[in-house]
A and B are shown apart, each in its own frame.
Chain A
Amino acid sequence: MEATMKPRVATVWLGGCSGCHMSFLDMDEKLIDLADKIELVYSPIADVKEFPRDVDVTLVEGAVTNVENEDFAHRIRRNSRCVISFGDCATTGNVTAMRNRFSTDEIMHRAYVELADGDPTIPSEFVTIAKLRDQARPLHEFIKVDAFLHGCPPTADEIWFTINELLQGRMPVLPNAYLRYG
């Protein structure tokens, strides 16, 4: 099979801890199988700058926590045939959403003043960092999501199962044992 015929898969890291991607890497030797079966067109573990067009499947880790995430979510939806909420932060907001009880001013002050090693400065121009939304919220509140992969993080087996189902042209219906929060 030619490389261009392989399903085009992307993984995206929004407002999360990257634990879901760590779990993805936990597939260990199965990653080698996977590399033969898919073309990884965008991912935090691949050096691709722009989210491409014409993606078959995108796994999205993390909640929508800043304005950039929100724009990105819409771009992902436009360019992907299938979008999967990848883990609890994308599905419920989870730990990322625990900051919702505080104002963004309080959060910025905590991060850039109280916890600063030196030269405490709150960024006023959002060039290097994106502006926080008022609240971190789950992905499906912004775009249509086709399936949900639960857990904090989902296990390597669950990720493998989901991707395999998708590769075989099936929308993954996770066995009940895989439905778990936390």
Chain B
Amino acid sequence: MAIVTLTINDEHLSGNDSDSILTIARQHKIHIPTLCHLDGLSEVGACRLCLVEVEGSSKLTPACSTKPVEGMVLHTNTDRLQRYRRMIIELLASEGNHQCAVCVVNNHCELQNLSYEMNLQYVRFPYLYPKKELDASHKDFIIDRNRCILCTRCVRVCHEVEGAHVWDIAHRGIRCEIVSGLDDPWGDSEACTACGKCVLVCPVGALIEKGATVAEMEKKRDFLRYIVTARQKREWIDIHEEG
């Protein structure tokens, strides 16, 4: 690990070269919007909201999955980036069925909050209104694929933290969707421990608790921090190894 110096939005900063640009920006209270990123999970760079401009490069770079280089000059909130971020939210809105008014996480939704941040007055692209399925076969939870934005937080938390790997992504392109097992009903999954981590990390109303009604569900994501810290300290693994 080495310290690098870099410039973000004309501010001279330093950070660890093993941290991502996103981490360093946040350490210095520079806001970069994110959606698929969640502290404690691996990075996939799927949502592209955290794209930043790097001087000397014509490509845009995802801040969550890019490491800093000495002398890097970055811009996080240019007109171009704002335009693209708004477009990303518009595409996510048009590719799903997000009826906020009847959604369980209405007013507690990361997609909704981002649409406000991007000042999204309306969606310029034609709505696709896709026919997505809802699976309520699990005893405690529901997956409503109409709301899913394919951030894959559920896939990652189940694999990386719970170690069950119930979720995965099926199909390609516009037909992509989150499936349980080999596209079986969630309720039939023998791997699922019903821990509910996927439900808590889901940024939208795609994974929800049964019995929750409109605007009722507020997801608490702090638990992940405790698990990750405990794991870093090897608290559980040591006990297991001694056993």
Which positions in A face B, CB cutoff 8 Å?
85, 88, 91-95, 97-98, 100-101, 135, 137-138, 140-141, 145, 147-148, 150, 152, 176, 179-182
Given known A-B contacts A181-B100, A182-B107, A85 and B122 have beta carbons under 8 A apart: yes
Besides A91-B122, A182-B215, 16 other A-B contacts (C-beta < 8 A): A92-B93, A92-B98, A92-B99, A92-B123, A94-B100, A95-B99, A95-B101, A97-B99, A97-B129, A98-B99, A100-B129, A135-B129, A147-B121, A179-B120, A182-B103, A182-B112
Are A148 and B122 in contact, with the CB atoms below 8 A? yes
Closest Cβ of chain A to B91, distance in Å, is 14
The answer, yes or no, to whether B173 is at the interface (CB within 8 Å) is no
Are B129 and A140 in contact, with the CB atoms below 8 A? no
Are A138 and B100 in contact, with the CB atoms below 8 A? no
Among candidates A137, A152, A181, residue contacting B115 with C-beta atoms closer than 8 Å: A181
The answer, yes or no, to whether B29 is at the interface (CB within 8 Å) is no
Are B122 and A180 in contact, with the CB atoms below 8 A? no
Return the chain A residue nearest B118 by Cβ: A179
The answer, yes or no, to whether B7 is at the interface (CB within 8 Å) is no
Given known A-B contacts A94-B99, A135-B129, A176 and B121 have beta carbons under 8 A apart: no
Within 8 A of A (CB), among B110-146: 112, 115-116, 119-123, 126-127, 129, 131
A-B contact pairs, 23 of them (CB 8 A): A88-B100, A88-B101, A91-B122, A93-B127, A93-B129, A94-B101, A95-B99, A95-B102, A97-B97, A101-B129, A101-B131, A147-B121, A152-B100, A176-B116, A179-B116, A179-B119, A179-B120, A179-B121, A180-B112, A181-B100, A181-B115, A182-B99, A182-B102
With the chains together, A98 CA to B97 CA distance in Å?
A: 8
The answer, yes or no, to whether B23 is at the interface (CB within 8 Å) is no
Query: Closest 3 A-B residue pairs measured CB to CB?
Result: A182-B100, A152-B101, A100-B129
Given known A-B contacts A92-B93, A93-B129, A138-B127, A182 and B121 have beta carbons under 8 A apart: no
